[in-house]
Amino acid sequence: MQKNRIGLFDIYVSPLTLGGMSLGTKKKQAKEMIDIALQSGINHLDTADLYDFGMNEEIVGEAMKGRRNEVIVTTKVGNHFDRSRKTNDWFWDPSKTYIESALKESLDRLQTDYIDIYMLHGGTIDDPIDEIIETFEQLKKAGYIRTYGISSVRPNVIQAYQKKSNMDVVMMQYNMLDRRPEELLDTLYEQQISVLARGPLAKGILTSDADKLLEKKGSDGYLAYDRLSLRKTVEELANLSPSLSTLAFQYINHHPAIASIVFGASAKEQLIDNLEQFPNQALSEKTYEQIQAMTKFFPYSKHR
């Protein structure tokens, strides 16, 4: 696979990233899936300290043994949880003290002495943004992280970091049915801030299993689409390509700000299918315009 540069930093990632959130807690199965991804040419693994209360980081760490220099790893911070309790009572804590302590724990679980891309896992406009940026810069200077960014869907938060920080990357949900990031993509590209696009297949709705998943996951609609308009739109999109998944990947990759598409998989077959459906050619401008005419652009109504 080709490699795309992250921001202005000397980090190059494959156009597909394996997201860890769906890998599960069966270590043997998860490590096998990571092996398949790495052998296929993927070099970027995305995880977070909160995923399975640190177990996902442990799995990624074990999978990277003996090939750390071949893997770009991203992890995230900000959700304060007590791992020993394993309950859903974590809370948002972007303080300098917590970020520094959480980083040490992530390094231990990942069995490494540095993290390639460290991301704030969310964020609000009321956070101590200057302190957060200063903390990331200090960690970067000390060599614990190579670069940093934020994982957020909130325009006001993203724009605050654009103005104040030297971040190289933003992670946002982006797909043909969720075009909200498009209001930010041009300015991020102009500032040479890369985008990692997560949720490319809209919970599986934009795949060959669309009919089945529309009944299951699309029964209440999807964002600005009610149930009927969602089905109509997906059917129209499916007529544009032999593979709805390939079309979904092509659409996201059309914008030059996109460095990598972060996809999840909970089974080996699902992983292999995504790898096979990833396109080897770009979307034509005509098809891109057709997709935009079929789908809705709706800006974020909150966090402005």
* Residues assigned a catalytic role: 51
CA-derived radius of gyration, the chain:
19
Q: Smallest Cα–Cα separation from 46: which of 98, 118, 105?
A: 118
Q: Which residues pair with 264 in a beta bridge?
A: 19
For residues 226 and 219, what is the distance between their CA atoms, to the nearest angstrom?
8
CB environment 161-185: b (16+ within 10 A), e (fewer): bbeebebbbbbbbbbbbbbbbeebb
Locate all alpha helices (DSSP H) within the chain, ordered by sequence: 27-39, 55-63, 96-110, 129-142, 155-164, 182-190, 210-216, 227-238, 244-253, 268-277, 285-294
32, 68, 75, 37: which is closest to 54 by C-alpha?
75
Contact (CB, 8 A) for 213 and 23: no
Using CA atoms, how far residue 111 sits from 68, 114, 209, in Å, is: 9, 9, 37
10 Å CB burial of residue 239 (0-12, 13-18, 19+) is: exposed
Helices 244-253 and 268-277 pack at an angle, to 10 degrees, of 60
Pairing of strands 91-92, 79-80: antiparallel
Dihedral angle sign, alpha carbons of residues 151, 116, 87, 133: negative
Other CB atoms within 10 Å distance of the CB of residue 93: 16
